[in-house]
């Protein structure tokens, strides 16, 4: 089942040191899937707050600070984060990353009347 879902193959940025919501593990019953969630699109990400599966972050800066320093070094932490040290981004780096994420907003799509509420 896990192979059919668009799940990050190496669990996310584990938001909690002990996952409150066990995520994919609720379905697979595998401890190696605890804290794993579907990887969401970043398209229009500036417009889709609140963030994460439980909406715990209100801003992109909070999301990035999670990746920068607030994540937990747990067994299921994504490889990409396991191998980096915390606080590697300074305020200017974070500003740049937010500016990049803002470029992923598709105004034409958002304002297309074809996708209005019926
Ligand atoms: C600096 C690099 C990264 C940025 C800027 C970033 C950005 C984000 C943002 C803004 C969200 C919230 C999306 C939403 O709620 O709609 C998110 C969630 C998520 N990201 Fe990342 N991400 C990064 C790195 C990674 C890595 C390395 C992984 C895994 C290998 C990953 C996997 C995920 C997953 C699975 C979620 C959903 C978490 C949940 O629902 O609780 N991301 N990311």
How do residues 51-88 score in pLDDT, each as one tens digit?
Answer: 999 999 999 999 999 999 988 888 888 888 888 899 99
Alpha-helix residue ranges (DSSP H) falling in the chain? 25-28, 60-65, 79-82, 91-102, 107-110
Does any domain span residue 112?
A: no
pLDDT at residue 12 is higher than 80: no
Return the residue whose CA atom lies nearest to atom 6 of ligand 1. 64
Residue 6: predicted pLDDT: 42
Residue 105: predicted pLDDT: 98
Flag whether the pTM goes above 0.75. yes
Does any domain span residue 65?
A: yes
If you measure from the C-alpha of residue 40 to the centroid of ligand 1, how many angstroms do you get, rounded to a whole number?
7
Does any domain span residue 114?
A: no
Residue 7 CA from chain centroid, whole number = 11
Does any domain span residue 111?
A: no
Query: What's the domain range around 58?
Result: 7-106
pLDDT at residue 4 is higher than 50: no
Does any domain span residue 17?
A: yes
If you measure from the C-alpha of residue 39 to the centroid of ligand 1, how many angstroms do you get, rounded to a whole number?
6
pLDDT at residue 9 is higher than 60: no
Does any domain span residue 118?
A: no
Residues lining ligand 1, CB < 6 A?
8, 10, 12-13, 15, 37, 39-40, 45, 48, 51-53, 60, 63-64, 67, 78, 80-81, 97
CATH of the domain at 70: 1.10.760.10
Q: Indicate the Cα dihedral angle 6, 10, 16, 20, nearest 10°.
A: 50
Q: How many domains does the chain have?
A: 1
Does any domain span residue 117?
A: no
If you measure from the C-alpha of residue 114 to the centroid of ligand 1, how many angstroms do you get, rounded to a whole number?
29
Does any domain span residue 2?
A: no
Q: What is the mean pLDDT of residues 23-50?
A: 91
């Amino acid at each position: 089942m896990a192979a059919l879902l668009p799940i990050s193959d190496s669990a996310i940025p584990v938001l909690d040191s002990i996952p409150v919501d066990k995520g994919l593990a609720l379905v697979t019953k595998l401890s190696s899937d605890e804290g794993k969630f579907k990887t969401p699109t970043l398209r229009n990400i500036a417009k889709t707050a609140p963030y994460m599966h439980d909406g715990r972050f209100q801003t992109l800066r909070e999301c990035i600070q999670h990746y920068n320093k607030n994540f937990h070094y747990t067994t299921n932490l994504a490889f990409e984060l396991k191998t980096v040290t915390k606080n590697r981004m300074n305020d200017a780096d974070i500003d740049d990353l937010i500016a990049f994420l803002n470029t992923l907003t598709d105004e034409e799509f958002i304002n297309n009347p074809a996708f209005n509420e019926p």
